Amino acid sequence: MTTPAKTAKTKRTQEKPLGRTPAGRRLEQALKEVLADVWGTKALPVVARVPDAIDVRRVRQGTGLSQAEFAARFGINRRTLQDWEQGRHEPDAMARALLTIIAREPEAVRRALAA
């Protein structure tokens, strides 16, 4: 006859140690990467953070350019720019990334696109 205490003990001993399951191996690897970053032996990869939304009009106005000038300088269709500014459409992730860079470093983007 099996007692509840004996059954619970048996189940615990049959479980795999954390490092031997796929999730445990991923967790162990992640911990090693974090520790290597903390110790300075290996840097963690940088993850791009693209904003979920961006005020396109504010970005453009921050450059001091008209819609036509902004569109021409940064290779954006003028009608698309107008649609973004008027809220008819939202820029996709790549456009939001470009607009974020333009907001922070407009001259760097201009130089890169002019080359």
Mean pLDDT of 76-103: 96
> CA torsion angle for 101, 103, 108, 111 (degrees, to 10)?
100
Over residues 88-101, the mean pLDDT reads 96
> Which pLDDT does position 20 carry in this prediction?
75
- Distance of CA 30 to CAs 42, 78, 105, Å? 12, 45, 34
Alpha carbon 109 to its chain centroid, in Å, reads 20
Q: 12-40: per-residue pLDDT in tens?
A: 555 555 557 888 888 888 888 888 878 88
Residue 104 has pLDDT above 90, yes or no: yes
Instruction: Tell me what pLDDT residue 12 has.
Output: 52
Angle formed at CA 68 by CA 102 and CA 60, multiple of 5 degrees:
30
